Amino acid sequence: MCPHYPTVTPRCSQVTWELDVSEPNETFDIVILGGGSGGYAAALRAAELGLSVALVEKGKLGGTCLHNGCIPTKALLHAAEVADQTRESEQFGVKAELVGIDMAAVNSYKDGVVARLYKGLQGLLGGAKNITIVAGAGRLVAPNTVEVDGKRYTGRNIILASGSYAKSLPGLEVDGERIITSDHALVMDRVPASVIVLGGGVIGVEFASVWKSFGVDVTIIEALPRLVAAEDEESSKALERAFRKRKINFKVGKPFEKVEKTGSGVRVTIAGGETVEAELLLVAVGRGPNTAGLGYEEQGVRMDRGYVLTDERQRTSVPNVYAVGDIVPGLQLAHRGFQQGIFVAEEIAGENPAVIDEAGIPRVTYSDPELASVGLTEAKAKEQYGADKVKTYNYNLGGNGKSQILKTTGFVKLVRVEDGPVVGVHMVGARVGELIGEAQLIYNWEAYPAEVAQLVHAHPTQNEALGEAHLALAGKPLHAHA
Protein backbone atom coordinates (compact mmCIF):
# COMPACT_ATOMS: atom_id res chain seq x y z
CA MET A 1 0.00 0.00 0.00
CA CYS A 2 1.30 3.50 -0.91
CA PRO A 3 1.64 6.04 1.89
CA HIS A 4 -0.57 9.16 1.70
CA TYR A 5 2.33 11.47 1.20
CA PRO A 6 4.73 12.02 -1.69
CA THR A 7 7.25 9.24 -2.05
CA VAL A 8 9.64 7.85 -4.61
CA THR A 9 9.70 4.24 -3.47
CA PRO A 10 9.58 1.82 -6.42
CA ARG A 11 6.41 0.11 -5.19
CA CYS A 12 4.61 3.48 -5.55
CA SER A 13 5.72 3.99 -9.12
CA GLN A 14 2.73 6.16 -10.02
CA VAL A 15 4.36 8.98 -8.03
CA THR A 16 6.65 11.08 -10.19
CA TRP A 17 10.26 11.99 -9.49
CA GLU A 18 9.43 15.72 -9.44
CA LEU A 19 8.10 15.40 -5.89
CA ASP A 20 10.01 17.17 -3.15
CA VAL A 21 11.84 14.29 -1.50
CA SER A 22 13.28 16.52 1.20
CA GLU A 23 9.85 16.52 2.89
CA PRO A 24 9.60 14.08 5.78
CA ASN A 25 7.25 11.50 4.36
CA GLU A 26 6.77 8.85 7.01
CA THR A 27 6.45 9.40 10.72
CA PHE A 28 6.88 6.74 13.37
CA ASP A 29 7.03 6.60 17.13
CA ILE A 30 10.60 5.33 16.77
CA VAL A 31 13.10 5.25 13.93
CA ILE A 32 15.97 2.86 14.64
CA LEU A 33 19.26 3.16 12.76
CA GLY A 34 20.79 -0.33 12.66
CA GLY A 35 19.16 -3.77 12.86
CA GLY A 36 21.73 -5.63 14.99
CA SER A 37 21.27 -6.95 18.52
CA GLY A 38 20.51 -3.52 20.02
CA GLY A 39 18.36 -2.21 17.19
CA TYR A 40 16.20 -5.25 16.55
CA ALA A 41 15.60 -5.93 20.25
CA ALA A 42 14.38 -2.34 20.61
CA ALA A 43 12.13 -2.79 17.57
CA LEU A 44 10.55 -6.01 18.85
CA ARG A 45 9.90 -4.68 22.35
CA ALA A 46 8.58 -1.34 21.08
CA ALA A 47 6.21 -3.08 18.68
CA GLU A 48 5.03 -5.31 21.52
CA LEU A 49 4.24 -2.14 23.47
CA GLY A 50 2.14 -0.80 20.59
CA LEU A 51 4.63 1.71 19.22
CA SER A 52 5.20 2.13 15.48
CA VAL A 53 8.78 1.47 14.40
CA ALA A 54 10.91 1.98 11.31
CA LEU A 55 13.97 -0.28 11.48
CA VAL A 56 16.70 0.83 9.06
CA GLU A 57 19.31 -1.79 8.13
CA LYS A 58 21.88 -1.56 5.35
CA GLY A 59 23.08 -5.16 5.57
CA LYS A 60 21.42 -8.16 7.18
CA LEU A 61 19.00 -7.99 10.09
CA GLY A 62 20.72 -9.54 13.10
CA GLY A 63 23.94 -7.57 12.58
CA THR A 64 27.39 -8.59 13.71
CA CYS A 65 26.38 -11.09 16.37
CA LEU A 66 24.31 -13.27 14.09
CA HIS A 67 26.34 -12.99 10.89
CA ASN A 68 29.95 -12.18 11.83
CA GLY A 69 30.20 -12.63 15.58
CA CYS A 70 28.69 -14.67 18.39
CA ILE A 71 26.88 -17.36 16.43
CA PRO A 72 29.40 -18.31 13.71
CA THR A 73 32.33 -18.19 16.16
CA LYS A 74 30.53 -20.42 18.64
CA ALA A 75 29.71 -22.87 15.84
CA LEU A 76 33.43 -23.00 14.99
CA LEU A 77 34.27 -23.46 18.66
CA HIS A 78 31.85 -26.35 18.86
CA ALA A 79 33.42 -28.00 15.80
CA ALA A 80 36.79 -27.46 17.53
CA GLU A 81 35.51 -29.19 20.67
CA VAL A 82 34.32 -32.16 18.60
CA ALA A 83 37.80 -32.37 17.02
CA ASP A 84 39.46 -32.35 20.46
CA GLN A 85 37.05 -34.91 21.85
CA THR A 86 37.80 -37.19 18.90
CA ARG A 87 41.53 -36.74 19.44
CA GLU A 88 41.20 -37.41 23.17
CA SER A 89 38.52 -40.09 22.93
CA GLU A 90 40.79 -42.89 24.11
CA GLN A 91 41.00 -41.49 27.61
CA PHE A 92 37.27 -42.31 27.85
CA GLY A 93 37.79 -45.75 26.38
CA VAL A 94 36.39 -44.81 23.00
CA LYS A 95 38.45 -45.64 19.96
CA ALA A 96 38.22 -42.94 17.29
CA GLU A 97 40.67 -41.24 15.03
CA LEU A 98 40.67 -37.66 13.81
CA VAL A 99 41.50 -37.89 10.15
CA GLY A 100 41.15 -34.22 9.32
CA ILE A 101 39.14 -31.02 9.29
CA ASP A 102 36.94 -30.51 6.24
CA MET A 103 36.54 -26.73 6.26
CA ALA A 104 33.84 -26.80 3.58
CA ALA A 105 31.75 -29.06 5.81
CA VAL A 106 32.55 -27.04 8.95
CA ASN A 107 31.44 -23.90 7.13
CA SER A 108 28.30 -25.51 5.87
CA TYR A 109 27.37 -26.54 9.47
CA LYS A 110 28.19 -23.01 10.72
CA ASP A 111 26.33 -21.29 7.87
CA GLY A 112 23.34 -23.58 8.39
CA VAL A 113 23.04 -22.49 12.01
CA VAL A 114 23.25 -18.81 11.01
CA ALA A 115 20.77 -19.26 8.15
CA ARG A 116 18.16 -20.93 10.37
CA LEU A 117 18.40 -18.21 13.00
CA TYR A 118 18.35 -15.49 10.32
CA LYS A 119 15.22 -16.93 8.77
CA GLY A 120 13.55 -17.01 12.17
CA LEU A 121 14.52 -13.41 12.89
CA GLN A 122 13.33 -12.19 9.50
CA GLY A 123 10.01 -13.92 10.12
CA LEU A 124 9.71 -12.39 13.57
CA LEU A 125 10.51 -8.84 12.49
CA GLY A 126 8.70 -9.07 9.15
CA GLY A 127 5.61 -10.46 10.84
CA ALA A 128 5.41 -7.79 13.54
CA LYS A 129 2.59 -5.49 12.50
CA ASN A 130 4.08 -2.29 13.92
CA ILE A 131 7.54 -2.71 12.38
CA THR A 132 8.46 -1.31 8.97
CA ILE A 133 11.80 -2.63 7.79
CA VAL A 134 13.70 -0.16 5.65
CA ALA A 135 16.53 -1.72 3.64
CA GLY A 136 19.38 0.70 2.95
CA ALA A 137 22.04 2.88 4.52
CA GLY A 138 20.59 5.53 6.81
CA ARG A 139 21.96 8.88 7.91
CA LEU A 140 20.72 11.20 10.63
CA VAL A 141 19.81 14.37 8.70
CA ALA A 142 17.85 16.13 11.46
CA PRO A 143 17.59 15.35 15.17
CA ASN A 144 14.36 13.46 14.47
CA THR A 145 14.91 12.24 10.90
CA VAL A 146 16.84 9.46 9.19
CA GLU A 147 17.32 9.57 5.44
CA VAL A 148 17.66 6.39 3.41
CA ASP A 149 18.21 6.60 -0.35
CA GLY A 150 16.67 10.07 -0.47
CA LYS A 151 13.60 9.13 1.51
CA ARG A 152 13.07 10.54 4.98
CA TYR A 153 11.76 8.73 8.03
CA THR A 154 10.80 10.93 10.94
CA GLY A 155 10.58 9.60 14.47
CA ARG A 156 9.14 11.08 17.61
CA ASN A 157 12.16 9.22 18.96
CA ILE A 158 15.37 8.01 17.31
CA ILE A 159 17.52 5.08 18.44
CA LEU A 160 21.10 4.98 17.14
CA ALA A 161 22.29 1.36 16.93
CA SER A 162 24.85 1.26 14.13
CA GLY A 163 27.25 -1.16 15.83
CA SER A 164 30.98 -1.64 15.40
CA TYR A 165 33.74 -2.75 13.04
CA ALA A 166 37.04 -4.62 13.49
CA LYS A 167 39.76 -2.07 14.25
CA SER A 168 43.35 -2.16 13.05
CA LEU A 169 46.51 -0.35 14.17
CA PRO A 170 48.43 2.44 12.46
CA GLY A 171 50.70 0.92 9.81
CA LEU A 172 48.78 -2.33 9.79
CA GLU A 173 46.85 -2.69 6.59
CA VAL A 174 44.26 -5.45 6.48
CA ASP A 175 44.29 -7.03 3.01
CA GLY A 176 41.79 -9.82 3.66
CA GLU A 177 44.31 -12.44 2.52
CA ARG A 178 47.40 -12.61 4.69
CA ILE A 179 46.39 -9.91 7.14
CA ILE A 180 42.82 -10.54 8.16
CA THR A 181 40.15 -9.64 10.71
CA SER A 182 37.54 -11.87 12.32
CA ASP A 183 35.23 -11.13 9.37
CA HIS A 184 37.68 -12.89 7.01
CA ALA A 185 38.56 -15.62 9.49
CA LEU A 186 34.91 -16.63 9.67
CA VAL A 187 34.67 -17.37 5.96
CA MET A 188 38.02 -19.09 5.41
CA ASP A 189 37.77 -22.19 3.27
CA ARG A 190 41.01 -23.80 4.46
CA VAL A 191 42.93 -24.54 7.64
CA PRO A 192 46.16 -22.52 7.60
CA ALA A 193 49.40 -24.09 8.82
CA SER A 194 50.22 -21.25 11.18
CA VAL A 195 48.61 -18.04 12.45
CA ILE A 196 49.71 -15.07 14.52
CA VAL A 197 46.82 -13.62 16.49
CA LEU A 198 47.41 -9.98 17.31
CA GLY A 199 45.39 -9.29 20.46
CA GLY A 200 44.77 -11.57 23.41
CA GLY A 201 41.28 -10.31 24.21
CA VAL A 202 38.13 -12.40 23.93
CA ILE A 203 37.96 -12.55 20.12
CA GLY A 204 41.69 -13.29 19.80
CA VAL A 205 41.75 -16.14 22.32
CA GLU A 206 38.57 -17.69 20.88
CA PHE A 207 40.09 -17.87 17.39
CA ALA A 208 43.42 -19.11 18.83
CA SER A 209 41.50 -21.87 20.59
CA VAL A 210 39.61 -22.90 17.44
CA TRP A 211 42.68 -22.94 15.25
CA LYS A 212 44.75 -24.94 17.74
CA SER A 213 42.02 -27.57 17.87
CA PHE A 214 42.08 -27.66 14.07
CA GLY A 215 45.83 -28.40 14.18
CA VAL A 216 47.20 -24.92 13.46
CA ASP A 217 50.44 -23.59 14.99
CA VAL A 218 49.16 -20.47 16.85
CA THR A 219 51.00 -17.57 18.47
CA ILE A 220 49.12 -14.80 20.30
CA ILE A 221 50.79 -11.41 20.70
CA GLU A 222 49.34 -9.14 23.37
CA ALA A 223 50.56 -5.70 24.45
CA LEU A 224 48.99 -5.93 27.93
CA PRO A 225 50.65 -8.04 30.61
CA ARG A 226 48.15 -10.90 30.40
CA LEU A 227 45.58 -12.61 28.19
CA VAL A 228 41.93 -11.46 28.58
CA ALA A 229 43.19 -8.61 30.73
CA ALA A 230 39.69 -7.32 31.54
CA GLU A 231 38.99 -10.52 33.52
CA ASP A 232 40.05 -11.35 37.08
CA GLU A 233 43.81 -11.93 37.19
CA GLU A 234 43.37 -15.51 38.41
CA SER A 235 41.16 -16.30 35.43
CA SER A 236 43.80 -14.93 33.04
CA LYS A 237 46.49 -16.99 34.74
CA ALA A 238 44.39 -20.16 34.55
CA LEU A 239 43.73 -19.57 30.85
CA GLU A 240 47.43 -18.98 30.23
CA ARG A 241 48.30 -22.25 32.05
CA ALA A 242 45.75 -24.15 29.98
CA PHE A 243 46.95 -22.58 26.72
CA ARG A 244 50.55 -23.44 27.60
CA LYS A 245 49.44 -27.04 28.10
CA ARG A 246 47.64 -26.97 24.76
CA LYS A 247 50.83 -25.59 23.17
CA ILE A 248 49.21 -22.34 22.12
CA ASN A 249 52.13 -19.90 22.09
CA PHE A 250 51.58 -16.45 23.52
CA LYS A 251 53.70 -13.41 24.19
CA VAL A 252 52.20 -10.93 26.65
CA GLY A 253 53.42 -7.41 27.45
CA LYS A 254 54.75 -7.23 23.88
CA PRO A 255 53.41 -4.32 21.82
CA PHE A 256 53.27 -4.81 18.07
CA GLU A 257 55.84 -2.84 16.08
CA LYS A 258 55.44 -3.79 12.43
CA VAL A 259 54.40 -6.44 9.97
CA GLU A 260 56.05 -7.36 6.68
CA LYS A 261 54.88 -9.76 4.02
CA THR A 262 57.29 -12.58 3.30
CA GLY A 263 57.33 -14.99 0.34
CA SER A 264 54.81 -17.28 1.99
CA GLY A 265 53.23 -15.31 4.82
CA VAL A 266 53.89 -12.55 7.31
CA ARG A 267 56.65 -11.55 9.69
CA VAL A 268 55.61 -9.59 12.77
CA THR A 269 58.10 -7.60 14.82
CA ILE A 270 57.23 -6.96 18.44
CA ALA A 271 58.74 -4.73 21.13
CA GLY A 272 62.38 -5.61 21.72
CA GLY A 273 62.91 -6.50 18.05
CA GLU A 274 61.74 -10.14 18.36
CA THR A 275 60.07 -11.48 15.22
CA VAL A 276 57.43 -14.15 14.68
CA GLU A 277 56.50 -15.63 11.30
CA ALA A 278 53.35 -17.35 10.15
CA GLU A 279 51.12 -17.89 7.16
CA LEU A 280 48.48 -15.45 8.40
CA LEU A 281 48.04 -12.56 10.79
CA LEU A 282 44.65 -12.18 12.48
CA VAL A 283 44.17 -8.61 13.72
CA ALA A 284 42.00 -8.81 16.84
CA VAL A 285 42.82 -5.54 18.56
CA GLY A 286 39.27 -4.54 19.40
CA ARG A 287 36.24 -3.04 17.74
CA GLY A 288 35.57 0.60 16.94
CA PRO A 289 32.19 2.36 16.84
CA ASN A 290 30.49 2.50 13.46
CA THR A 291 29.51 6.18 13.55
CA ALA A 292 31.67 8.04 11.01
CA GLY A 293 29.71 9.91 8.36
CA LEU A 294 26.31 9.04 9.83
CA GLY A 295 25.44 12.62 10.77
CA TYR A 296 25.36 12.08 14.53
CA GLU A 297 27.82 14.83 15.43
CA GLU A 298 26.31 17.29 12.92
CA GLN A 299 22.94 16.88 14.62
CA GLY A 300 24.45 17.73 18.00
CA VAL A 301 24.97 14.25 19.45
CA ARG A 302 27.86 14.43 21.92
CA MET A 303 30.59 11.95 21.01
CA ASP A 304 33.95 10.82 22.34
CA ARG A 305 36.47 9.30 19.92
CA GLY A 306 33.64 8.10 17.71
CA TYR A 307 31.55 6.62 20.54
CA VAL A 308 28.13 8.08 21.34
CA LEU A 309 27.89 9.35 24.89
CA THR A 310 24.71 8.56 26.79
CA ASP A 311 23.46 8.86 30.34
CA GLU A 312 22.38 5.80 32.32
CA ARG A 313 18.97 5.92 30.59
CA GLN A 314 20.67 5.63 27.16
CA ARG A 315 19.78 9.28 26.34
CA THR A 316 22.21 11.15 24.11
CA SER A 317 22.76 14.91 24.41
CA VAL A 318 19.90 15.47 21.89
CA PRO A 319 16.36 15.18 23.29
CA ASN A 320 14.53 12.02 22.18
CA VAL A 321 17.65 10.56 20.57
CA TYR A 322 18.90 7.38 22.30
CA ALA A 323 21.87 5.11 21.58
CA VAL A 324 22.39 1.40 22.31
CA GLY A 325 24.92 -1.38 21.76
CA ASP A 326 28.53 -1.25 20.64
CA ILE A 327 28.50 2.49 19.76
CA VAL A 328 28.02 3.29 23.47
CA PRO A 329 31.21 3.04 25.56
CA GLY A 330 31.31 -0.11 27.68
CA LEU A 331 31.16 -3.86 27.17
CA GLN A 332 30.70 -4.74 23.50
CA LEU A 333 28.41 -7.71 23.97
CA ALA A 334 25.27 -8.75 22.16
CA HIS A 335 23.22 -9.30 25.32
CA ARG A 336 24.15 -5.81 26.55
CA GLY A 337 22.84 -4.45 23.23
CA PHE A 338 19.64 -6.53 23.54
CA GLN A 339 19.03 -5.30 27.08
CA GLN A 340 19.72 -1.66 26.21
CA GLY A 341 17.37 -1.94 23.22
CA ILE A 342 14.60 -3.37 25.39
CA PHE A 343 15.30 -0.71 28.01
CA VAL A 344 14.94 2.18 25.53
CA ALA A 345 11.74 0.78 24.03
CA GLU A 346 10.23 0.57 27.53
CA GLU A 347 11.56 4.01 28.44
CA ILE A 348 9.91 5.54 25.37
CA ALA A 349 6.67 3.71 26.16
CA GLY A 350 6.74 5.30 29.63
CA GLU A 351 7.33 2.04 31.51
CA ASN A 352 10.14 3.51 33.61
CA PRO A 353 12.44 0.43 33.42
CA ALA A 354 15.22 -0.11 35.97
CA VAL A 355 18.66 1.16 34.96
CA ILE A 356 21.05 -1.55 33.70
CA ASP A 357 24.02 -2.24 35.98
CA GLU A 358 27.00 -2.64 33.63
CA ALA A 359 28.83 -4.83 36.17
CA GLY A 360 25.80 -7.15 36.28
CA ILE A 361 26.19 -8.03 32.60
CA PRO A 362 27.59 -11.57 32.32
CA ARG A 363 30.80 -12.10 30.33
CA VAL A 364 31.80 -15.37 28.74
CA THR A 365 34.92 -16.28 26.75
CA TYR A 366 34.15 -19.49 24.87
CA SER A 367 37.71 -20.77 24.45
CA ASP A 368 38.89 -24.13 25.75
CA PRO A 369 38.79 -23.75 28.72
CA GLU A 370 35.89 -21.32 29.03
CA LEU A 371 35.93 -18.25 31.25
CA ALA A 372 32.75 -16.81 32.71
CA SER A 373 32.30 -13.91 35.07
CA VAL A 374 29.88 -11.37 36.46
CA GLY A 375 30.33 -8.46 38.84
CA LEU A 376 33.62 -7.08 40.10
CA THR A 377 37.06 -8.62 39.76
CA GLU A 378 38.99 -8.97 43.02
CA ALA A 379 41.17 -5.98 42.01
CA LYS A 380 38.14 -3.78 41.19
CA ALA A 381 36.41 -4.75 44.43
CA LYS A 382 39.54 -3.82 46.41
CA GLU A 383 39.76 -0.52 44.56
CA GLN A 384 36.10 0.20 45.26
CA TYR A 385 35.76 -1.03 48.86
CA GLY A 386 39.34 -1.12 50.22
CA ALA A 387 41.68 -4.12 50.18
CA ASP A 388 41.02 -5.06 53.81
CA LYS A 389 37.26 -5.32 53.24
CA VAL A 390 37.35 -7.81 50.37
CA LYS A 391 37.17 -11.58 50.92
CA THR A 392 37.53 -14.20 48.22
CA TYR A 393 36.97 -17.94 48.06
CA ASN A 394 38.28 -20.31 45.39
CA TYR A 395 36.57 -23.63 44.91
CA ASN A 396 38.70 -26.00 42.85
CA LEU A 397 36.78 -27.99 40.23
CA GLY A 398 38.92 -30.96 41.23
CA GLY A 399 36.34 -31.51 43.99
CA ASN A 400 33.38 -31.43 41.61
CA GLY A 401 32.13 -34.80 40.36
CA LYS A 402 30.84 -33.64 36.98
CA SER A 403 34.08 -31.79 36.25
CA GLN A 404 35.99 -34.98 37.03
CA ILE A 405 33.72 -36.87 34.61
CA LEU A 406 34.43 -34.26 31.93
CA LYS A 407 38.13 -34.33 32.88
CA THR A 408 38.25 -30.58 33.19
CA THR A 409 40.14 -28.45 35.67
CA GLY A 410 39.46 -24.92 36.85
CA PHE A 411 37.71 -23.08 39.65
CA VAL A 412 34.82 -21.00 40.88
CA LYS A 413 36.01 -17.86 42.62
CA LEU A 414 33.70 -15.69 44.72
CA VAL A 415 34.41 -12.10 45.70
CA ARG A 416 32.58 -10.70 48.70
CA VAL A 417 32.78 -7.45 50.65
CA GLU A 418 32.99 -8.01 54.43
CA ASP A 419 29.84 -9.82 55.53
CA GLY A 420 27.80 -8.49 52.62
CA PRO A 421 26.57 -10.08 49.42
CA VAL A 422 28.71 -11.60 46.70
CA VAL A 423 29.99 -8.84 44.37
CA GLY A 424 31.86 -10.97 41.86
CA VAL A 425 31.85 -14.52 40.46
CA HIS A 426 34.70 -15.77 38.24
CA MET A 427 34.85 -19.25 36.74
CA VAL A 428 37.26 -21.18 34.55
CA GLY A 429 36.78 -24.68 33.10
CA ALA A 430 34.99 -26.60 30.39
CA ARG A 431 31.38 -25.45 29.96
CA VAL A 432 31.44 -22.89 32.79
CA GLY A 433 29.72 -20.48 30.39
CA GLU A 434 26.57 -22.46 31.14
CA LEU A 435 26.95 -21.73 34.88
CA ILE A 436 26.82 -17.98 34.38
CA GLY A 437 23.00 -17.99 34.56
CA GLU A 438 23.02 -18.84 38.26
CA ALA A 439 26.04 -16.62 38.91
CA GLN A 440 24.35 -13.59 37.41
CA LEU A 441 21.24 -14.12 39.54
CA ILE A 442 23.46 -14.33 42.61
CA TYR A 443 25.19 -11.06 41.73
CA ASN A 444 22.17 -9.14 40.46
CA TRP A 445 19.92 -10.19 43.35
CA GLU A 446 22.72 -9.29 45.75
CA ALA A 447 22.52 -12.73 47.33
CA TYR A 448 24.39 -13.54 50.53
CA PRO A 449 26.51 -16.71 50.59
CA ALA A 450 24.22 -18.21 53.25
CA GLU A 451 21.17 -17.69 51.01
CA VAL A 452 22.77 -19.49 48.06
CA ALA A 453 24.18 -22.17 50.38
CA GLN A 454 20.69 -23.28 51.37
CA LEU A 455 19.59 -23.83 47.74
CA VAL A 456 19.80 -27.43 46.55
CA HIS A 457 22.04 -28.03 43.54
CA ALA A 458 21.46 -31.15 41.44
CA HIS A 459 24.14 -33.84 41.65
CA PRO A 460 26.30 -34.42 39.70
CA THR A 461 26.41 -31.06 37.92
CA GLN A 462 29.02 -28.38 37.55
CA ASN A 463 26.48 -26.04 39.15
CA GLU A 464 27.22 -27.81 42.39
CA ALA A 465 30.60 -26.08 42.34
CA LEU A 466 28.78 -22.77 42.75
CA GLY A 467 26.74 -24.23 45.60
CA GLU A 468 29.84 -25.64 47.30
CA ALA A 469 31.73 -22.35 46.97
CA HIS A 470 28.85 -20.53 48.67
CA LEU A 471 28.61 -23.18 51.39
CA ALA A 472 32.30 -22.63 52.10
CA LEU A 473 32.01 -18.85 52.08
CA ALA A 474 29.03 -19.12 54.43
CA GLY A 475 31.31 -21.00 56.83
CA LYS A 476 29.91 -24.53 56.29
CA PRO A 477 32.05 -26.20 53.64
CA LEU A 478 31.03 -29.70 52.55
CA HIS A 479 33.61 -31.13 50.15
CA ALA A 480 36.11 -28.28 50.63
CA HIS A 481 38.01 -26.34 53.24
CA ALA A 482 36.64 -23.00 54.45
Kindly write out the interface string for residues 167-206 of this chain, putting x where it contacts ligand FAD by CB under 6 A and - elsewhere. Answer: ---------------x--------------------x---
CA-based nearest residue to 45, from 264, 337, 318, 378: 337
The correct pick among 58, 237, 380, 382 for binding ligand FAD (CB under 6 A) is 58
- State which of positions 311-330 bind ligand FAD (CB under 6 A): 325-326
The correct pick among 7, 30, 31, 38 for binding ligand FAD (CB under 6 A) is 38
Exposure string (b/e) for 61-74, b if CB count within 10 Å is 16 or more? bbbbbbbbbbbbbb
Catalytic residue among 426, 459, 470, 481: 459
Contacts of 257 (CB under 8 A, 6+ apart): 269, 270, 271, 273
The correct pick among 25, 32, 36, 375 for binding ligand FAD (CB under 6 A) is 36
Kindly write out the interface string for residues 117-156 of this chain, putting x where it contacts ligand FAD by CB under 6 A and - elsewhere. Answer: --------------------xx------------------
Exposure string (b/e) for 101-123, b if CB count within 10 Å is 16 or more? beeeebbeebbeebeeebeebee
The correct pick among 235, 332, 409, 463 for binding ligand FAD (CB under 6 A) is 332
Q: Within 10 Å of residue 94's Cβ, how many Cβ atoms?
A: 10
**For this structure, is 459 an active site residue?**
yes
Exposure string (b/e) for 423-449, b if CB count within 10 Å is 16 or more? bbbbbbbbbbbebbebbbebbeeebbb
The torsion angles phi and psi of 377, rounded to 5 degrees, stand at -75, 165
Task: Considering the complex, state which of residue 58 and residue 246 has its C-beta at the smaller distance from ligand FAD.
Answer: 58
Stretch that binds ligand FAD, among 24-32, 35-43, 208-216, 440-448 (CB under 6 A): 35-43
57 binds ligand FAD (CB under 6 A): yes
Kindly write out the interface string for residues 219-258 of this chain, putting x where it contacts ligand FAD by CB under 6 A and - elsewhere. Answer: ----------------------------------------
Q: What is the contact surface with ligand FAD in residues (CB under 6 A)?
A: 33-39, 56-59, 63-65, 68-70, 73-74, 137-138, 161-164, 182, 203, 290, 294, 325-326, 332-335, 337
Which residues are annotated as catalytic?
A: 459
